[in-house]
Structure 1
Amino acid sequence: MDLQQMRYVVAVAETASFTRAAERCHVVQSALSHQVARLEKELGARLFERTSRRVRLTTAGEAFLPAARRALEAAERARTDVAAAIGEIRGGLTVGSIPAVAAVDLPAVLRDYRLRHPQVRISLRAGSSEQLVERVREGQLDAALLGVQPGFLPQGIHDRELAHTRHVAVVAPDHPLAGGGEVDIRRLAEETFVDFADGSAARAQSDQAFAAAGLRREVAFEVSGVELMAPMVRHGLGIALLPATFAAELHGLVTVEVIDGPVRVERLVWSRFPPSPAASAFLTLLGVAEAKPSPKAAPGPPAASR
């Protein structure tokens, strides 16, 4: 049994195809199939059920796959740790972020990181704050940038508060509020809103602000991201509440200060398990000086970067 055979098994499992797995691994299909067959013979069990239409894991394959992934991740971690010991940062870095981040200029940070560590593969994943917290907790992300309501404390991971941002009302240029000055939340309760999904962290700040004032509002449209929200507001379907620093970058819309509006807290979160050298370098760049990899620390679940 060797690492290459494990790579082939993982590739077949993830693509559900020997042909696509061979393309991913840059080998001819016959060579990949031969190595998988050799491994199955050594294990004494078939790992895949093969038909003319599909390829899927057997019960033995499902048992083998997680261990194969851990072995490959451990091997990659060993290589990156050795590289770090001689002053080189290699491997991968996977960062998650909500779509609208104000406290950190993420593209600029990634540019600086890339200049310092050109051998690191960088992946950026978008998602809601709830999704990102879970992915960090499960080791799918090295770190993530969130936007949550005050008092939000994620469990099972490290976190640091980055900034408080007040929300502003975002309206179309011909909306009655566009020509005025400040507005209070009681006046906004008369409007129809375009907002994020009910129960999401992106929506929670606004809902809590209206509830605290004893007010109800109408959310006529729920969207998954700002890229849908902005044109809907521009066409007069409703108004929105968004962080001031982000809303200012939306073209063709008007922002109005809200006297007693919602507040969003931006947080950086990362795994409680020892970070990889690549993840440690990223956290250090963001000012998390204590995020140092420890070769003596108890191993945890591997991060997504490996």
Structure 2
Amino acid sequence: MQPIMNVNLKLFQVFLLVAEHASFRSAADQAHRSQSSISTQIKQLEGQLGVALFHRTTRSVRLTAEGEQLLDCVRRALHEVEAGLRKIAEAVDMRRGYVSVGCSPTVAATRLPIVLAAFRHDYPDVKLFVRELTSSDLFESLRKREVDFGIAPVTAETDLTFKPILKEDIYALVPRRLFQTLKSSIPLAELVQMPVLLLNPATALRALIEATVSAQGLTLSTNYQFSQVQTLIAAATAGLGTAILPKIALPKVPSDDLQVLRIVDPPMTREIAIVTVKGQSLSPAATRLVALITRLIDPQKGQATIKPASRKRVTH
């Protein structure tokens, strides 16, 4: 393989178009060029690299093993270039920045909005994009560089970095018609005797609950699973079963028909973290948002911290 500096970098952009569309014709349409021109450039790139990048037939175009490797490298390289250029621009003027965030549903439905409002107050010209995602989808979006960082429970993903910002207990919202107690907690063994309401399997909370129950040699009985926290709470209020939720997602004023009980024997806890791809550096705008989330994510600290402030503008 010839030295990489001898490769025309524009050829990588053409390669990316063909790879993502799996079609020379579609890539040509996207680039507003002829199909023969695109084909010639791909042959030129293959010649410079000394490997075939595509398997071509009259019906399909697909990547070779070497093409798959190159696609991953090109995507990461172009993202790093884009991120670098963005950081340079934002360092000159924060007003030109933008941040894309992935957030787990339990945080997105509770604490994230007030943090975003505080950030918008301080940096009104920074563009914010937020995606509410289950943990598995969020991690995949991070790997694809679709979001700058995530807010999600800590898991064992080895290619991601987790910076914990909140640790919280797991609670049960128990309909009084299913179980009544004067205590403020409920043993897990008693909890699993009643019908349980859960978030869908793609969430880290669901995985934590099932792992804890299994480790105790117990089993869950559930006929319902939901994607949204508010639906889970509404179902518990209607008496369909007991909702299992982290403290951050508990309703501020529970229905009189519900008891809020901390799960014990064993206690269940989870950690919320800022999640990034290993080795990734955040833009100035994203770094500022992470700092604000870290400061305001804890509901107890947040109540004392969030208050009207004078309009703050960034100056250099």
Counterpart of 2:225 (choices 211, 219, 223) is 223
Question: For the structure 1 residues 121 and 12, does the alpha-carbon distance in structure 2 shift closer, same or farther, using more than 3 Å as the test?
Answer: farther
Q: Which runs of 5+ in 2 are unaligned?
A: 1-6, 296-316
Answer yes or no: is 1:145 the counterpart of 2:151. Answer: yes
* Percentage of pairs with the same residue: 25
| 1:87-102 map, 5 Å | 87-88=93-94, 93-101=99-107
Residue in 2 that maps onto 1:202: 205
Structure 1 equivalent of residue 286 of structure 2? 279
Whole-Å separation in 2 of the counterparts to 1:176 and 1:4: 67
Q: Does 1:57 align with 2:63?
A: yes
Instruction: Name the structure 1 match of 2:21.
Output: 15
Flag the 1:178–1:16 CA change in 2: closer, same or farther, 3 A.
farther
Structure 2 counterpart SS, 1:176:
coil
Letter aligned with residue 163 of structure 2: D
Aligned partners of 2:35 and 2:94: how far apart in 1? 32
Deviation string 1:140-194 (CA, Å, 9 cap, x unpaired) is 753322246xxx78766241232424413254xxx61488765633653431223
- Does 2:134 match 1:127? yes
Instruction: Give the structure with the larger helix fraction.
Output: 2
Match of 2:270 in 1: 265
Contact 1:177 1:256 in 2 (8 A): no
Q: How many residues align?
A: 277
Is the aligned partner of 1:176 residue 2:177?
Answer: yes
Residue 107 of structure 2 aligns to a residue whose secondary structure is coil
Equivalence for 2:168: 164
Choose which of 245, 248, 253 in structure 1 pairs with 2:251. Answer: 248
Offset at residue 98 of structure 1 (A): 1.7
- Amino acid across the alignment from 2:292: L
Please report the RMSD computed on the Cα atoms of aligned residues, expressed in angstroms. Answer: 4.5
Give the superposition deviation at 1:72: 1.6
Check the 8 A contact 1:168/1:247 in 2, yes or no.
Answer: no
**What's the TM-score once normalised by structure 2's chain length?**
0.63
C-alpha displacement of 1:38: 2.1
Deviation at 1:40, TM superposition (A): 2.4
Q: In 1, are the aligned partners of 2:134 and 2:203 still within 8 Å (CA)? A: no
* 2:245 is equivalent to residue 239 of structure 1: no
User: In the TM superposition, what whole-angstrom CA distance separates every residue of 1:80-125 from its partner, at most 9, and x where no partner exists?
Assistant: 2321342346566342322111796223434554672746563525
CA deviation after TM superposition for structure 1 residue 226, in Å: 3.5
- Cα contact 1:170–1:253 (8 A) shared by 2: no
TM-score by length of 1: 0.65
Instruction: Quote the Cα distance in structure 2 between the aligned partners of 1:251 and 1:15.
Output: 51
Q: Does 1:188 align with 2:191?
A: yes
Structure 1 gap segments, 5+ residues each: 289-306
Mapped to 2, the partners of 1:17 and 1:63 lie a distance apart of 18
Contact 2:171 2:262 in 1 (8 A): no
Q: Give the secondary-structure state (helix, strand or coil) at the position aligned to 2:106.
A: coil
